[in-house]
Amino acid sequence: MSDFNRGAARTIPADRADMSVDAGLRSFMLGVYNKVAVGLLVSAGLAYLTGSFAPVRDLMFTVANGRVGYSILGMVVAFAPLAVILFSSFTKNVTPKAAGITYWAIVSLIGASMGVLVLRYTGASIASTFLLTATAFGALSLVGYTTKKNLTGFGSFLIMGAWGLIGAMLINMFLQNSVMALLINVIGLLIFAGLTAYDTQRLKMTYYELGGNESAMSVATNFGALQLYLDFINMFQFLLALFGSRR
């Protein structure tokens, strides 16, 4: 992901402050959103499979005293996307094929691990939360697409907050503190809501910086879709934790 680093500082040239009418940009962004949409469908299908198909479900998850958790295999699958992301971040000269494999590998792993949500929450709750997330995601992405304000500083702050959030979540896995869990869910929702707008604007800047390089554009489409996909998934999970109805 070295060609598409999330924290890189970028400025918005004055003559490109209003780029919403650019047909090439619209085509590029449509490609990103289409990939995100397909990724979400793949994740939903895998989540349903791992949460409903007994042979797979029993390998991935455990149920004890009414509480649903991960088995050892489930933990490996759940944390594997983070390992893939960290590995990709140190990879140079990424090819379009490698970027595509990275995207679909992470989408598949996250989808498989999300079967735990199928076991924890009602189907109606999952569906309504997904629609709420989609509405919020669309609105926030539109803000990032249309705003003329440079969100770089804001995004850098949110990225640091996201890493801190991961640390807090790992700590609370052992503490199991309900107040801390609530704070994590609220702060996490706000962080990834902001990152949705930031990542959308950054994709606009990336499109112009690549200057029509087809190979680089393909890589950017995959990694841009990955970051928006992760924003969506995280917002969905935090909203579900806050407002979802448990089984």
| pTM across the whole model | 0.89
Angstrom distances, CA of residue 194 to CA of 3, 73, 200, 216: 23, 33, 10, 26
* Contact present, 174 and 202 (Cβ < 8 Å): no
- 246's tokens: 């448990």
What is the tens place of the pLDDT at every residue in 56-99?
Answer: 999 999 988 778 989 999 999 999 998 999 888 888 888 999 99
At residue 2, the pLDDT reads 36
pLDDT score of 211:
80
Q: Provide the pLDDT for residue 6.
A: 54
Mean pLDDT for back-to-back runs of 10 residues, the chain (247 residues): 43 46 85 97 97 94 87 95 88 90 96 96 96 97 94 92 93 91 96 97 92 89 96 97 91
CA–CA dist 237, 239 (Å, integer): 5
Q: Which of 30, 31, 41, 32 is nearest to 233 (CA)?
A: 41
Q: How far is CA 215 from CA 32, 38, 41, 90, in A?
A: 15, 21, 26, 19
